[in-house]
Structure 1
Amino acid sequence: MSEPSTMDKQQASGLRSLIDSRVINHERLPMLEVVCERMVRTFSTSMRNLISDGIEVTLQDMQSVRFDSYMSGLLDPSMIAVFKVPAWRDYGLVVVDQNLIYAIVDALLGGRRGGASNRIEARKFTPIETNLVSKMVELMLNDLSAAFQPIAPVSIEMERVETSPRFAAIAGPTNICTTAKFNIDMDGRGGAFTVLLPSALLEPIRGKLTQRFMGEKLGGDTTWQDHMESEIRQTELELSAILGEIELGLGSVRNLQVGQTLTLDTSPDTPIDVQCGGVSLGRAHMGRERHHIAISMIDGIERGQN
């Protein structure tokens, strides 16, 4: 059996380099950034209610990564919450770093303020630590679900907590994922957590996420729009029926007197022009209805461009 030639080895090496490339050509999702910023505001309030302390939550960055590249960089053990989105039939992850785990536990159990924790311990997490951090993750997922509502009403449910990256394999190794990293500061102590969203999870709403602007629809409140529409429909306009027009010299206009008759080049059967604000709406016939002069439209009203 012959050995592979140098050319074959180079081609195989080039193909492997292409497959393993860390350079990812990803599509920007502007509205996903808006969703994350909105979640930051509501989650800050939720954390203050949970801990009754000064909390600052910030969005640090958003990146596109391959699933195996991100997971291989996690410590073992790690606190990894697996959540599902039934409507989109897929899963995502929330990865909480150890500094934030210890800070949350200290804050909820009455630990002293201040003093940033930099403990990195290669040990399993206790049930108490897991349960307390799970409360924080559930709050965050509820706020993330609310932040998605204006784009796509959806429910996000936490399914389980894993401590080994091997048991949190929710996507293929080469699948592209979007990660959003958030920082939490609690009077000098805190840490970060990362939300990992596989591309397959976001596929049902990708078209909406690529939009650059959705206006105030992000708030989901159409009260102001409905009010404006109602008021506009009730606006009163003045219509003018133009019987006819003649041209007079400036001298004739200056000599106009009370009782003087001006003859228009218009007969009783000639259609007259109906205008609103100087804009012609159509033509009409003039007549009488009971004791009032009336007009009857004979042309379709020109509504202009919408």
Structure 2
Amino acid sequence: MDTVTERNIGERLRSAARIEPERFPRLKLIGNKWAEAVSAKLAAAHASPLSVEFVASSPFVLSTAALSETDTQMVLTVRSAKWRETALVAADGRFADTITEAGFGGDGRDAPAAGRPLTSVGRFFADAALRTFVETGNAVFADVVALGMSADRLLVEGIGHKLEEAIAPEARAFLEFRFRVSIGRCEAALRVAIPESVLSPHRRKFAALPDEGPSIVDETWTRDLEAGFQKTDMHVRAILCEQQSSLGEISTFHVGQTIALDATMQSLVLLECEGQRLFRGSMGRSRDTYVVKVSEPVDPTEEFIDDILAH
């Protein structure tokens, strides 16, 4: 495959993986639930109630210029044991003052001046609030994807430089959820940026809204139908190796011939049901019987990409 074709395929795959918020209505539902959950958490921890409003979601590409344009004063980096990328929770220069106002029971009568330096008290209240967004985010995404996010480091100096050093260029595409946090005349902006590569495998779920209406299906009929499906016979195959051979080589096959495979006893066996690849597993023996221990599920997206690149 020539380099130009490889670049074209790579760009087409990246384009197909991008999330355009207007095509995925569930993102708005998640954003609104997120704002409600954060409001409830912050109300329990502050003397005065804060208003948290979901504004919109949009693609975001990390750069020092992009951070400067949004008046970013602090960024909380976020990690997960479920993915390698870094998520970000970023707040503008008025966020710490707004959160502190609620923390001390103020009513937000006087709007904070822009560009005020961050105090140790403001940093304390802001850091706790940013972590609240992380904690509640795990819950609101639970029906779609288990994010398993946890707060990492709070950055308040040299933010752009530090993030560009820590995050690889190919991992700087995010989907951000923008929120407005306010009390009285104190108002601040906050953005939660989740790596697009983490969310893109779940595009189908984001495209459909959950059905929350009452069920009109007969539950007895549903159980009987499910029980019937459970008894359906299916054909399962365990495939050790697949490789290409020329027509000439195949025409010389004969009984007793030994055919070398590109596989070893440590190679993973592919489990397939009715043409659908389901799992990979390790081959072993139990007495006189060969067995397969399931090791990992097959990711359809990765399989699709590997098939294209293999040709």
**TM bracket, shorter-chain basis:** 0.5 to 0.7
Q: Which residue of 181, 187, 209 maps to 2:184?
A: 187
Offset at residue 103 of structure 1 (A):
1.4
SS of the aligned residue for 1:47 comes to helix
The partner residue of 2:41 within 35, 43, 46 is 46
Q: Deviations over 1:16-72 (max 9, x none)?
A: xxxxxxxxx853333222211111111111121121423321112222232225234
Aligned twin of 2:84 = 89
| Distance 1:49-1:155 versus aligned 2 partners, 3 A rule | same
Matches within 5 A, 1:1-306: 27-28=20-21, 29-68=24-63, 70-75=66-71, 78-111=73-106, 113-121=108-116, 123=117, 125-163=118-156, 164-169=159-164, 170-172=167-169, 175-209=172-206, 211-216=207-212, 229-230=219-220
Query: In terms of Rg, which structure is larger?
Result: 1
Q: CA deviation at 1:126?
A: 3.5
1:145 to 1:66, Cα distance in 2 relative to 1, 3 A: same
CA distance, structure 1, for counterparts of residue 37 and residue 142 of structure 2 = 13
Unaligned runs of at least 5 residues, structure 2: 1-17, 225-311
Following superposition, the deviation at residue 139 of structure 1 comes to: 1.3
Question: Aligned partner of 1:99: which letter?
Answer: R
CA distance in 1, matches of 2:68, 2:215: 49
For 2:145, give the aligned amino acid. A
Unmatched 5+ stretches in structure 1: 1-24, 218-223, 235-306
Counterpart residue type for residue 126 of structure 2: V
Contact preservation (8 Å) 2:56, 2:177: yes
Tell me the TM-score normalised to structure 1 length: 0.57
Assess, with a 3 A threshold, how the Cα gap between structure 1 residues 120 and 225 changes in structure 2: closer, same or farther.
same
CA deviation digits over 1:176-201, x for unaligned, max 9?
32222100121332311111122123
Q: Residues of 2 paired with 1:146 and 1:154: CA distance?
A: 9
User: Which residue type is aligned with residue 211 of structure 2?
Assistant: G
Q: Which residue of 2 aligns with 1:295?
A: none
The whole-number CA distance in structure 2 between the counterparts of 1:226 and 1:143 is 32
Q: CA deviation at 1:74?
A: 4.7
CA RMSD of aligned residues (A): 3.1
The 3 A distance-change label for structure 1 pair 34 and 171 is farther
1:197 is matched by which residue type in structure 2? I
Greater mean deviation of Cα atoms: 127-136 or 64-73: 64-73
C-alpha distance in 1, partners of 2:147/2:93? 30
Query: Which letter does structure 2 place at the counterpart of 1:102?
Result: D
Runs of 4+ with deviation above 6 angstroms: 231-234
Label 1:87 to 1:187 Cα distance change in 2 as closer, same or farther (>3 A): same
d(CA) in 1 for partners of 2:36, 2:105: 25
Whether contact under 8 Å (1:89, 1:201) holds in the other structure is no
Give the aligned residue type for 1:56: S
Say if 1:83 and 1:159, in contact at 8 Å, map to a contact too: yes
SS in 2 for 1:118: coil
Give the distance between the partners of 1:141 and 1:226, measured in 2 at CA: 37
Aligned residues: 200
